[in-house]
Structure 1
Amino acid sequence: MKHLPSLKNLFYLVNLHQEQNFNRAAKLCHVSQSTLSSGIQNLEQQLGHQLIERDHKSFIFTAIGEEVVQRAGAILTDVDELVELVKHQGEPMSGDLRIGCIPTIAPFLLSRVVQHCKKVYPKLNLFLKEETTDRLLNGLGKGELDLLLLALPVDTSGYHSMKVGIDPFKMVLHKDLSSQINEPIDYHSLPDESIFLLQAEHCITGHAISACQLEDSAKVNPFSATSLHTLVQMVNCKLGTTFLPQMAIDAGILDNTDLISMLPLGESPYRDIGLVWRQTSSRLLTFRNLGLEIQTLLKQE
């Protein structure tokens, strides 16, 4: 049988690439710097190729080193999933589950999901991370996350997804300005730069523009917010209007404001809410069961 590289040395290599520093990588791996360095040198000897170019003060990964890092990351993820498969055989709703969620969903849904799962699946431990869609997909691909809760559509090529519900959009404005808005809403009648949106990296901006058929960019204010709560404050100052998901409104984001919501232009504009996971994951039953629970929670809104 071939003398195969150890998973431990592959783990050292992946963490060194992530940290780009031997000392930090060693701490992350809970070993000494010399142990980590020796492990990577041993890996190079086993593979018969230099993975890192070193001098006294710095290092860089070689081209083949970069390729080995990518493949090693995938191997380590597969091994983790293999362990989870065996560990929870016959008991899929148990163990640790790392879930990533976008900021325009997390504050309004995740607490309900966690509380519900504590009652229904007490052996399932949820670890949560809030980030933008692109960063979450990157973390999922690297094996840092097991499951994502996202607003669709997004490019999920190479992943499986499950739609768990829909979230309608509402147009939100100050009650003193509502008399100036005729229904059905005509965006062309709004003042230029009167519509406030989130920064471009938040996918809800693209979803809202598409779903609500907002085509005139002159109506959009150049200011871009980092959260839905900031949008609410801007609109509450009578500076204009914005689009909010019904999920946020139901959670009380308009409480203690003078804002009202209206149905925007478009045929019942909404975004889909869905779960996304790696095609290679062995926890399909876990994800689908959790998806059905989230579907129930969304229908209760």
Structure 2
Amino acid sequence: MKSLPSLKNLYYLVNLHQEQHFNRAAKVCFVSQSTLSSGIQNLEEQLGYQLIERDHKSFLFTAIGEEVVERARAILTDVDDLVELVKNQGEPMTGEVRLGCIPTIAPFLLSPVVKGCQSLYPKLTLLLKEDTTERLLDALAKGELDLLILALPADVSGFHSMKVGVDPFKMVAHESLSSVIPLPVDYKTLPDESIFLLQNEHCITGHAISACQLADTAKINPFAATSLHTLVQMVNSKLGTTFLPQMAIDAGILKDTELTVMTPPGEAPYRDIGLVWRQTSSRLTTFRTLGLLLEKLLTRP
């Protein structure tokens, strides 16, 4: 049988590529810098190709080195899934789940999810990360996360997904402005630049524009907020209006404000909430069980 590269050396290579620094990569791997460097040299000798070009001050991954990193990352992810399959055989709601969630959902849903898991599945630990959709999907593909809670639609091609609920959009304005807006709301009656939205990397902006059929960009203020809480403060300062998901309103984001909730134009605008995981993951039962928990939380009155 031919000699195969060790998983340990592949792990060293992937982390060096991630950190782009030998000392930092060694710390991530909990080994000395010389051990990590020797492991990668071993890997090069075994494969018979140079993966990294080095000099005394810097290094550069070769073209074949870049490809080996990508394949090594996939191999390590598959090995992790294999270990989880065996570990959780017959007892799926145990161990750790590295769960990613977007910022327009995390503050309003993660707390009840964690409390529900602690109550129903005490042997299951959720490790949480909040980030944008794009970055979370990248981390999922690299095996850095196991499961995501996202707002759909999103480009989740290559992954499995499960819809767990619907989150309606509401229009929010200061009571002094809402009192003079004719009902039902017509965007044409709003002043130009009076609608505030999040920065483009937050998917709720695209969802709101699409779901609320907001075609006239002249109505959108060039100011872009970084969070829903910032949007609330801007609108509470009588500067205009915005759109908020129902889950944020239910969680009390409008507490101590003078804001009024209105129904936007269109046919009940909303976003879908879904779970996303890798197709190669062996924890289907775990993820679907968590999905059922989320469904209950999202339909609770």
TM range (shorter): over 0.9
Aligned CA RMSD, in angstroms, stands at: 0.5
SS of 1:242's partner is strand
What is the CA-CA distance between 1:177 and the residue it aligns to? 1.0
AA aligned opposite 1:249:
I
Matched residue type, 1:290 = L
Q: Distance in 2 between matches of 1:79 and 1:179?
A: 60
Q: Which residue of 2 aligns with 1:96?
A: 96
Q: How does 1:225-244 map to 2 (within 5 A)?
A: 225-244=225-244
Equivalent in the alignment of 2:53: 53
Give the corresponding residue for 2:155: 155
TM-score (norm 2): 0.99
| Equivalent position SS for 1:180 | coil
Give 1:262 deviation, angstroms: 0.5
Return the alpha-carbon distance in structure 2 between the equivalents of residues 45 and 53 of structure 1: 14
1:136 counterpart letter in structure 2: L
Structure 1 gaps, min length 5: none
CA-CA distance at 1:188 after TM superposition: 1.1
How far 1:2 moved relative to its partner? Answer: 1.3
Residue aligned with 2:170, SS:
strand
Is 1:192 the equivalent of 2:189? no
Deviations 1:162-207 (A, max 9, x none): 0000000000001111122112211011100000000000000000
Structure 2 residue 103 is matched with structure 1 residue 125: no
1:208 to partner: Cα distance: 0.4
Distance in 1 (alpha carbons) for counterparts of 2:33 and 2:174: 59
Rounded Cα–Cα distance in structure 2 between residues aligned with 1:205 and 1:123: 37
2:71 equivalent in structure 1: 71
**Could you tell me how far apart the structure 2 residues matched to 1:39 and 1:265 are?**
61
* Corresponding position of 1:221: 221
CA–CA distance in 1 between the matches of 2:189 and 2:177? Answer: 13
Amino acid at match of 1:201: E
2:83 and 2:179 map into 1 onto residues whose CA distance is 61
Corresponding residue for 2:34? Answer: 34
Q: Deviations over 1:247-291 (max 9, x none)?
A: 000000001100011010110100000000000000001000000
Does the residue aligned with 1:161 lie in a helix, a strand or coil?
strand
**Quick one: which amino acid aligns to residue 21 of structure 1?**
H
Could you say what secondary structure the match of 1:92 adopts? coil
Letter in 2 for 1:287: F
Query: Which SS does the other structure have where 1:205 is aligned?
Result: helix
Match of 2:115 in 1: 115
Counterpart code for 2:280: T
Q: Distance in 1 between matches of 2:131 and 2:34?
A: 35
TM normalised by structure 1 equals 0.99
Partner AA of 1:234 in structure 2 = M
In the TM superposition, structure 1's runs of 4+ consecutive aligned residues that sit over 3 Å from their partners are none
Deviation of 1:41 after TM superposition, in Å, equals: 0.6
TM-superposed deviation, 1:121: 0.3
Q: Is the partner of 2:200 in helix, strand or coil?
A: coil
List runs of 5+ in structure 2 lacking aligned partners. none
Displacement of 1:76 = 0.3
- Give distance in 1, aligned partners of 2:8 and 2:219: 56
Report what 1:206 is aligned to: 206
Equivalent position of 1:289 in the other structure: 289
Deviation at residue 83 of structure 1 after TM alignment: 0.5
Q: Where do 1:240-251 residues align within 5 Å?
A: 240-251=240-251
Match for 2:187: what amino acid?
A: Y
Q: Distance in 2 between matches of 1:189 and 1:216?
A: 12
Residue 278 of structure 1 aligns with which residue?
278
Partner AA of 2:293 in structure 1: E
Taking the aligned partners of 1:72 and 1:58, their CA distance within structure 2 comes to 22
Percent of paired sites with the same residue: 78
Distance in 1, matches of 2:147 and 2:119, equals: 20
Give, as a single letter, the amino acid of the residue that structure 1 aligns with 2:98. R
Q: How far apart, CA to CA, are the structure 2 residues paired with 1:209 and 1:93?
A: 38
Aligned partner of residue 60 in structure 1, secondary structure: strand
2:62 aligns with 62
Count of residue pairs brought into register by the alignment: 301
